[in-house]
Amino acid sequence: MRKVFQADLQQIGEELIEMANQVATAMDRAWDSLANADVELAQEVIAADAKIDFLQNQLDERAIDTLALQGPVASDLRMIVGSLRMSASLERMGDLARHLAQLARLRFPQPAIPERISTTFAEMAKIDIQIAQAVARLLDTRDLNIAAEIIELNHEVDRLHSSVFARIAEADWDASAPTTVDVSLTSRYLERFGDHGVSVARKVTYLVTGEWDPSDA
Amino acid sequence: MRKVFQADLQQIGEELIEMANQVATAMDRAWDSLANADVELAQEVIAADAKIDFLQNQLDERAIDTLALQGPVASDLRMIVGSLRMSASLERMGDLARHLAQLARLRFPQPAIPERISTTFAEMAKIDIQIAQAVARLLDTRDLNIAAEIIELNHEVDRLHSSVFARIAEADWDASAPTTVDVSLTSRYLERFGDHGVSVARKVTYLVTGEWDPSDA
């Protein structure tokens, strides 16, 4: 039984890594579609999100089967329950990438994001992709230095998110109200993406060290 | 053992109902604090959110202990795993109420929400409170008519959310850019609150009927 259980855990771990890699790709392509008003790419990102949802369902079913058939306890049990939580965070990161692509599609053929703020969002998207890639590496290696790196990267996303709202509050901000809405929501999506990456990092840290950081709200 | 298990399940169910009730109260008070620029009430809502987080942790620990000690299978197992997911949704609803209170605090002594859009948000908040209260009743009774009612209520929240963005796009919208940001984010928080209520409703429906509606993304 033990051997089967280890194989199940291994499989669940690989599926989480696969989800993190797909989520990184989704953010990469979603930002491209938004920055370049590329509606075909946006459609592809939206369609690909269904695959991430499918991966989550598959992983969750496997986790529940493992709970039922192996009845794990202690750290093994926490690992499986943690996997269910991490898959939910990764699925949500996929949704947020999809929201960016949906915005690109909604405003097409106009670009949704004014040029003056585009550099900031490009930077946020770049860091978000790094966060998702780091999550994949963290899940693979359990090297907690990577968890610390993810938290640092997310601080930078938060800083850029605040700078967007500061920019909007400046006297010379003259974008239309709908564009201001698009900019606010885009910033929010990019910021939430990073937060979910941090949730996964904290969960892995907890599973490795047994110590829970309550700042993971 | 069976008797202990039933008592555990009962306790978990009661804690979910308690969370739903606290979340309804949080939204009620958060909206009040935002509508009336009441910074003291806002502080209370922010402080009270820690209690909802505490309830979630308590419930999750109980659920994990139950998995470890009782090794449930089949529908009992799905009930426990479902409880972990529902507690996460309810905790998130609490966060969204807190975000409204934080906005009230940030803009104090100015009101964050312009009067012309306040009626729409008051309506959204009222329906959100009804959703959270309905979630508590659904968890208590498992009457699937209530699940259908929650989905209907959420359609109305979505409709109002769209109307906010339509209103912002009208030619006579002359609020400042930062106010436009506050309005967008408030609308988004109120909309997401309802979505999480629907997630819980779909989860309960699944646990009662065994049929999963994949539209619960």
Domain assignment present for A17:
yes
Q: Which domain holds residue B117?
A: 2-209
Look at residue A213 in the predicted model and tell me its pLDDT.
62
Q: What is the mean pLDDT of residues A121-140?
A: 98
Look at residue B139 in the predicted model and tell me its pLDDT.
98
Other beta carbons less than 10 A from residue B37's beta carbon? 17
Instruction: Compare all CA atoms of chain B with the CA of A49 and give the residue at the minimum distance.
Output: B217
Domain assignment present for A215:
no
Domain assignment present for B33:
yes
Q: What is the pLDDT of residues A19-43, one digit of tens each?
A: 999 999 999 999 999 999 999 999 9
Q: What is the mean pLDDT of residues A135-139?
A: 98
CB contact under 8 A, A217 and B84: no
CB contact under 8 A, A177 and B185: no
pLDDT at A216 > cutoff 60: no
Q: Which residues of A touch B178 (CB under 8 A)?
A: 165, 168-169
Counting as low any pLDDT under 70, the low residues of chain B are 1, 212-217
Indicate the pLDDT class of residue A97, thresholds 50, 70 and 90.
Answer: very high
Q: Kindly provide the ipTM of the predicted complex, given to two decimals.
A: 0.93
Nearest Cα of chain B lies from the Cα of A143 at a distance, in angstroms, of 26
Candidates A62, A181, A183, A206, partner chain B, best to mutate (most B CBs within 10 A): A181
Selection from A161, A165, A5, A151 nearest residue A96 by Cα: A161
Nearest Cα of chain B lies from the Cα of A180 at a distance, in angstroms, of 7
- Using alpha carbons, list the distances in angstroms from residue A82 to A11, A77, A86, A87: 14, 8, 6, 9
Nearest Cα of chain B lies from the Cα of A108 at a distance, in angstroms, of 16
CB contact under 8 A, A177 and B175: yes
CB contact under 8 A, B177 and A173: yes
Domain assignment present for B75:
yes
Domain assignment present for B32:
yes
Q: Given phi > 0 = left and psi -120 to 50 = alpha, else beta, which region is A142?
A: left
Domain assignment present for B216:
no
Q: What is the mean pLDDT of residues A189-194?
A: 98
| DSSP symbols for A8-46 | HHHHHHHHHHHHHHHHHHHHHHHHHHHHTT-HHHHHHHH
pLDDT at A18 > cutoff 80: yes
Q: What is the CA radius of gyration of chain B?
A: 19
Nearest to A68 among B68, B77, B184 (CB): B77
Report which residue type is found at B22.
Answer: Q
> Diameter of chain A by CA atoms?
67
Q: Which residues of B touch A84 (CB under 8 A)?
A: 81, 84-85
Look at residue B3 in the predicted model and tell me its pLDDT.
85
Task: Write the CB contacts of B131 (distance below 8 Å, at least 6 apart in sequence).
Answer: B150, B153, B154, B157, B193, B194, B197, B198
CATH code at position B74 = 1.20.58.220
Q: What is the pLDDT of residues B17-67, one digit of tens each?
A: 999 999 999 999 999 999 999 999 999 999 999 999 999 999 999 999 999
Domain assignment present for A217:
no
Domain assignment present for A60:
yes
Q: What is the pLDDT of residues A141-160, one digit of tens each?
A: 999 999 999 999 999 999 99
What is the tally of structural domains in chain A?
A: 1
Chain B residue set in contact with A, beta carbons under 8 Å:
53, 64, 67-68, 71, 73-74, 77-78, 81, 84-85, 88, 95, 165, 168-169, 173, 175, 177-178, 180-181, 184-185, 188, 214, 217
| Mean pLDDT (chain A, rounded) | 95
Look at residue B217 in the predicted model and tell me its pLDDT.
41
Look at residue A3 in the predicted model and tell me its pLDDT.
85
Other beta carbons less than 10 A from residue A71's beta carbon? 18
Nearest to A177 among B71, B180, B214 (CB): B180
User: Are B33 and B101 within 8 A, CB to CB?
Assistant: yes
Q: How far apart are CA B104 and CA B47, in angstroms?
A: 14
Q: What is the pLDDT of residues A34-84, one digit of tens each?
A: 999 999 999 999 999 999 999 999 999 999 999 999 999 999 999 999 999
Look at residue B210 in the predicted model and tell me its pLDDT.
80
Nearest Cα of chain B lies from the Cα of A79 at a distance, in angstroms, of 11
Nearest Cα of chain B lies from the Cα of A115 at a distance, in angstroms, of 17
